[in-house]
Structure 1
Amino acid sequence: MSEVVLAATDIRKYFPITAGVLRRTVGQVQAVDGVSLELVRGETLGIVGESGCGKSTLARVLMGLIPATSGSVMLEGEELVGMKPKRLRQVRRDVQIIFQDPYSSLDPRMTVGNIIGEPFEIHSEVAPKGDRRRQVEELLEVVGLSPEHINRYPHQFSGGQRQRIGIARALALRPKVIICDEPVSALDISVQAQVVNLLESLQDEFGLSYIFVAHDLSVVRHISDRVAVMYLGKMVELGTEDQIYERPTHPYTQALLSAVPVPDPRLRGRREQIVLTGDLPSAADPPSGCRFRTRCWKAQDICAEEEPPLEIRAGGDHPSACHFAEVRVVTHATH
């Protein structure tokens, strides 16, 4: 049996909508609504979906950066939701995060050495004070930067180099889980490949488990063992990399894959394009039943009346949240 290092059950995160002088609550934004997942030690779980689907909010709830409205997050059997701040601070050593924007996530007034070494100030038991500079220099080498850069400032580095600094900071406490919140979306294509390859080599070297949040399906396929597809706060499909990319069953997943560019112009005309109509509904007033039904070509009356559970359907081999899920073989999926 594979060991589950992080497990989330029925996670919900609602943000209040306030109005008036007294700031009364008049509604809720259902950013994440009933998501459950498991992360196995040593694997990468990709989370994909268009902007506004709740990916980053889910990542921050799993990290403990924002509190869950309800649900459970277990790290190696220990409940994080509702944990006392002192204990949460200790446990957070084991779960670190790499942020999306390498330009705003690093303090411009701090040197690289201070940025990477800051976790040692908070968790002093990890590195003795006299040994911290050596450890920071080692971390710089591990992520492909020169130890001689330890006294430089973030503005002296390129975007890809800054993201490597962010990765070194996440590695400093030797975590078990790293949540990658769109870590390459702000980088050039060539630099994206370098950073993804670095993350893969670090995973092998340190035995890390990743949750990799992204909207670029090509990147997710390259790095992920399993992929979860989210739409408007819900998980609509979950499967291995091959299951999601070669045999998707949910209409939303099929539409996402049909929109991925095909590099070879001779193959572009052979793949059926699925064009979704309408805009993404508001998370403050989601549709009844299936949330995707307002943009789905398969929608029928039952889709408005009953919310489809995430389960394996007839003829499928992985769970999908659709009343009319069916396997659609993708001939020219992205690689």
Structure 2
Amino acid sequence: MSPDRSGRKQAKEEGSAARRLLARSHAGSAYAAGEAILEVRDLVKHFPLTQGIVFKRQVGAVKAVDGVSFDLRQGETLGIVGESGCGKSTVAKLVTHLEEPTSGTIRYKGEDITKLSGRALKAVRRNIQMVFQDPYTSLNPRMTVGDIIGEPFDIHPEVAPKGDRRGKVRELLDVVGLNPEYINRYPHQFSGGQRQRIGIARGLALRPEIIVADEPVSALDVSVQAQVINLMSRLQDEFGLSYIFIAHDLSVVRHISDRVGVMYLGKIVEIGTEEEIYEHPTHPYTQALLSAVPVPDPEAEAVRERIVLEGDVPSPANPPSGCHFRTRCWKAQHRCVVEEPLLIVPENFARSTPQEAVHHPSACHFAAERTAVLPRSTD
């Protein structure tokens, strides 16, 4: 086949894929609340380690994401928590196609977006937007707020004709709680919370179905965090959004999330509803994380048990065999060295009913409930 014919065939395929995705995005009735709109399976991202200057050779790989699977349902918020360096932000970049996965699939409404390019990928990006962690460096300091929020309309002109764009930008500023008259100001003229609102407005511009929020409140004061979280909750109800909310603050994630996934060294080690994870954790790492959360009750704080993990987090370039958490786990046995635990309902909870809080996936051979992780008030 000639290069011209090959190029035309690829363009035709991309165009048909783009039309399918756009048609599905407008067929909202096909994906009612509770149905999976995004399916991630066995997602892997390895960054190669090389030696040499002229003749480079790969000597290893940083396993940033090492087999992550989850579903995001229509209208829900999935929180992802874990220590710094566990792979949370890499998952966000993979879902939004800012990074190419090493392997695995990401299905948006049944279409594997990891294999898309050109117009088909552009159609997906219209429906999966991102809010970045730093509300200052994610905004171009040389552009006005109007240009920043209106830039998506230049890339997707079908969303807003040129004559309507300024009015839509003003409308978006009003939606996120900013004065529409600020349209000609620059990012340095706003506070941190206001800049994050601008980032959220930019993410909303194309009316996406999914927003990936990568630690959107970690750089803000506590009082401002609450304002931004409440804003995101309100926008979710108004626009029917689905969120992937990434953070390391467990209390923030609990406030906004319907389900929570706990990551450790490139893997999700436990996933379940907010109640299942916070009130009935079964994985040792989740229990250790929750035991470090301050409790606003001096009496309860004085009597509760604190789990102190020994050692450092292993390098993602050379993770332990078997269970990645075994080098810091007080339950570790020989089985943990030779056999990697699967993210399934543990064997000892297999007889529990799905309605019971312990009946949720946990990647541990010896999963068990541990009391006094988050004790209630004693009065």
Compute the TM-score of the two structures, normalised by the length of structure 1: 0.98
2:73 is the counterpart of 1:6: no
- State the percentage of identical aligned residues: 67
SS at match of 1:203: helix
Whole-angstrom distance in 2 between the partners of 1:333 and 1:174: 41
Paired position in structure 2 for 1:34: 67
**Which moves more between the two structures, 309-318 or 93-102?**
309-318
Matches within 5 A, 1:120-159: 120-159=153-192
CA shift, 1:32, in A, is 0.4
Whole-angstrom distance in 2 between the partners of 1:333 and 1:102: 36
Q: CA RMSD in A?
A: 1.2
2:320 is the counterpart of 1:278: no
2:90 to 43, 54, 57: 57
Paired position in structure 2 for 1:259: 292
**Which moves more between the two structures, 116-125 or 308-317?**
308-317
Matches within 5 A, 1:1-335: 2-21=34-53, 22-313=55-346, 314-315=348-349, 316-329=358-371, 330-332=373-375
CA shift, 1:90, in A, is 1.8
Whole-angstrom distance in 2 between the partners of 1:85 and 1:124: 16
AA in 2 matched with 1:322: C
Whole-angstrom distance in 2 between the partners of 1:136 and 1:234: 39
Whole-angstrom distance in 2 between the partners of 1:51 and 1:126: 37
Gaps of 5+ in 2: 1-31, 350-357
Larger radius of gyration: 2
Question: Once the two structures are superposed, what CA deviation does each residue of 1:5-32 show, in whole Å capped at 9, x if it has no partner?
Answer: 1111100000001111123211100100
* Aligned residue pairs, count: 334
AA in 1 matched with 2:40: A
SS at match of 1:9: strand
Question: Once the two structures are superposed, what CA deviation does each residue of 1:41-100 show, in whole Å capped at 9, x if it has no partner?
Answer: 000000000001000001110111101100100111111012122210122100000000
CA shift, 1:261, in A, is 1.2
Aligned residues of 1:160 and 1:187 also touching (Cα < 8 A): yes
Whole-angstrom distance in 1 between the partners of 2:376 and 2:333: 28
Whole-angstrom distance in 2 between the partners of 1:275 and 1:328: 14
SS at match of 2:115: coil
SS at match of 1:290: coil
Gaps of 5+ in 1: none
Kindly indicate whether structure 1 or structure 2 has the higher relative contact order, using CA contacts under 8 Å at least 6 residues apart.
1
Aligned residues of 2:130 and 2:214 also touching (Cα < 8 A): yes
AA in 2 matched with 1:51: S
1:227–1:173 distance in 2 versus 1, CA, 3 Å: same
AA in 2 matched with 1:211: I
Judging by fraction of residues, say which structure has more helix: 2
Give the ranges of 4+ consecutive aligned residues of structure 1 lying more than 4 Å apart after TM superposition.
none
Aligned residues of 2:278 and 2:374 also touching (Cα < 8 A): no
Question: Once the two structures are superposed, what CA deviation does each residue of 1:156-205 show, in whole Å capped at 9, x if it has no partner?
Answer: 00000000000000000000000000000000000000000000000000
Aligned residues of 1:179 and 1:210 also touching (Cα < 8 A): yes
**Which moves more between the two structures, 81-90 or 230-239?**
81-90
Aligned residues of 2:141 and 2:187 also touching (Cα < 8 A): yes
SS at match of 1:37: strand
Whole-angstrom distance in 2 between the partners of 1:332 and 1:98: 34
Whole-angstrom distance in 2 between the partners of 1:123 and 1:71: 28
SS at match of 2:303: coil
Whole-angstrom distance in 2 between the partners of 1:31 and 1:4: 25
CA shift, 1:333, in A, is 7.0
Compute the TM-score of the two structures, normalised by the length of structure 2: 0.87
AA in 2 matched with 1:263: P
Whole-angstrom distance in 2 between the partners of 1:215 and 1:197: 18
Aligned residues of 1:257 and 1:333 also touching (Cα < 8 A): no
Aligned residues of 2:300 and 2:376 also touching (Cα < 8 A): no
Whole-angstrom distance in 2 between the partners of 1:83 and 1:151: 37
AA in 2 matched with 1:7: E
Whole-angstrom distance in 1 between the partners of 2:124 and 2:267: 27
Whole-angstrom distance in 1 between the partners of 2:374 and 2:119: 52
Aligned residues of 1:107 and 1:115 also touching (Cα < 8 A): yes
